[in-house]
Amino acid sequence: MAKPSAERKILHADCDCFYAAVEMRDDPSLRDIPLAIGGSREKRGVIATCNYPARAFGIHSAMPTARALRLCPQLTLLPGDFERYREVSRRIQAVFHELTPLVEPLSLDEAFLDVTAVERFSGSATWMARWLKQECLARTGITVSVGVAPSKFLAKIASDWDKPDGLTVIPPARVDDFVRPLPVKKLHGVGPATGARLDALGITTCAELRELPLERLVEEFGKFGRRLFELSRGIDEREVRVERERKSISAETTFERDLPDLASCRAALASLCERLEARLARHGHPPLAGIFVKVRFDDFSLTTLEHRGLLPTPESFARLLEPAWARAGRPVRLLGVGARLVPEAQRRQLTLPI
C-alpha cells in the first residue's frame, strides 16, 4: 500500500535539452551557438529539441523546421543520432535504478522515481536528488534537472522550475503556498481547450480555481472537474508505475469549438502530424507497425481506424480520416493521430543473426 501523498517522496528527473546536450558534449564547438535536432525543411520536418541559445530566438520542440530557420537563419540543424541517444539514456536510467527500483520512464530523457522507502542519504530526497545529478553528469556528461515533491504532478513542475541544471524541492509543508499562486495551465491535463474554458470563467490561478465548488467543476468539465478540484489543492495520488511496454505513440486535441465538417478536420491534421513526429523523434523513431486516426464526435461517440501498412505521413492520415469521419458524419470534438509500435519481442527477433 502506497503512503499518502503527504508522506511520499517523488523525484522527477529531466535531462536538459537532451539530444542537443549529447551533441554538445561530443562536439564542444556546438555549445555556444544556436543548435537544434530535427527534420529538414525540405521534408517538412519538425524540431525534436534545441539548446538554450536557440531557445533565445523563440525556437522550441515540435516547431516546424521551416519556421525555426526563419526565426534563426544561422541555426545549426542536425538530423540526430538516435542510437547514440538511446545508449546515453540507458546509462542515465541505470543511475536511476541504482537509487530505487520504482522508476517510471516517460521518454528517453525523463522519468519519475519513487524514493519514499529509500534509506540511503538518511532518507533525504533532497540529498538523493543531488546525488542523482552529480552521478549523471560524472558518468554521461549530461546535466539533469530534478524536482522533489510529495506527488508526481508537483515533482514534474518543480523539475522545470529552475532549468537548466536545476534542483527545486517542494516539501509537504510548502505545498499549499506553492500551489495557490500556480497558473492553472500548469496543472497536469490542462491543455489549450480546457485552459481557454478556465480563462472564460475568469480563472487563471489555483487559488481562483479553489473558489469553485466541486459540483460546479463537474458540471463544467465532467469527470475532469474532480481532477481539477484535487490538483488545485495539491492532491495527486497517482503512483509511480514501473516501466511497461509502450504500444503506441499519439497526439490528439480536444477542440474548443467542434469542427463542423470533413474539410475542417483535414485542416486540423497538419499540426497533429507535427506533434506526432516530434514525439516519435523523442522516442528515437522506434519501428512502427502501422498508424491510426481517432475521432470523437459531438455526441461523444468514438471511432478509431487503423492501417498496418501505412507510414505516419499527413497524406496517410488524411486517407484514413475520410472513412473514419464518414462513420458518423457529425461535428468533431476530438481528433487524434498515432502510430502502433512493433512489440519489443518482435524487435529482438528481427535483430537476431541468421
Q: Is 344 among the residues known to form the active site?
A: no
So what's the pLDDT on residue 295? 95
User: String of b and e for 47-75 (b: at least 16 CB within 10 Å)?
Assistant: bbbbbebbbebebebbbbbeebbeebeeb
Residue whose grid cell is 513542475: 157
pLDDT tens, 16-37?
999 999 999 999 999 999 999 9
**Does 145 share its domain with 265?**
no
Span 78-102, mean pLDDT? 94
**Does 142 share its domain with 16?**
yes
Name the residue type at position 168: T
**Does 136 share its domain with 28?**
yes
Has residue 237 been placed in a domain? no
Residue 3's pLDDT band, with cuts at 50, 70 and 90, is very low
**Does 62 share its domain with 196?**
no
258 is in an annotated binding site: no
DSSP 8-state assignment for residue 267: H
Has residue 238 been placed in a domain? no
> Rounded mean pLDDT of the chain?
90
So what's the pLDDT on residue 5? 47
Whether the per-residue pLDDT at 198 is higher than 90: the answer is yes
Residue 250's pLDDT band, with cuts at 50, 70 and 90, is very high
Residue 195's pLDDT band, with cuts at 50, 70 and 90, is confident
| Domain coverage including residue 224 | 180-231
**C-alpha span between 172 and 234 (Å, rounded):** 10
CATH of the domain at 195: 1.10.150.20
Give the domain-ending residue among 152, 171, 190.
Answer: 171
The residue from 7, 42, 87, 110 that is catalytic is: 110
Whether the per-residue pLDDT at 139 is higher than 60: the answer is yes
Whether the per-residue pLDDT at 333 is higher than 60: the answer is yes
Structurally, how many domains does the chain consist of?
Answer: 3
**Does 152 share its domain with 209?**
no
Residue 44's pLDDT band, with cuts at 50, 70 and 90, is low
So what's the pLDDT on residue 141? 97
136 Cα distance to chain centroid: 21
The three grid cell numbers given for residue 59, joined into one nine-digit string: 525556437
Span 319-340, mean pLDDT? 94
**Does 50 share its domain with 119?**
yes
Whether the per-residue pLDDT at 126 is higher than 60: the answer is yes
Whether the per-residue pLDDT at 158 is higher than 50: the answer is yes
pLDDT tens, 200-216?
999 999 999 999 999 99
DSSP 8-state assignment for residue 64: B
14 is in an annotated binding site: yes
CATH of the domain at 265: 3.30.1490.100
**C-alpha span between 27 and 87 (Å, rounded):** 17
Whose CA is closest to 203, among 182, 223, 222?
Answer: 182
**Does 158 share its domain with 196?**
no
Has residue 241 been placed in a domain? no
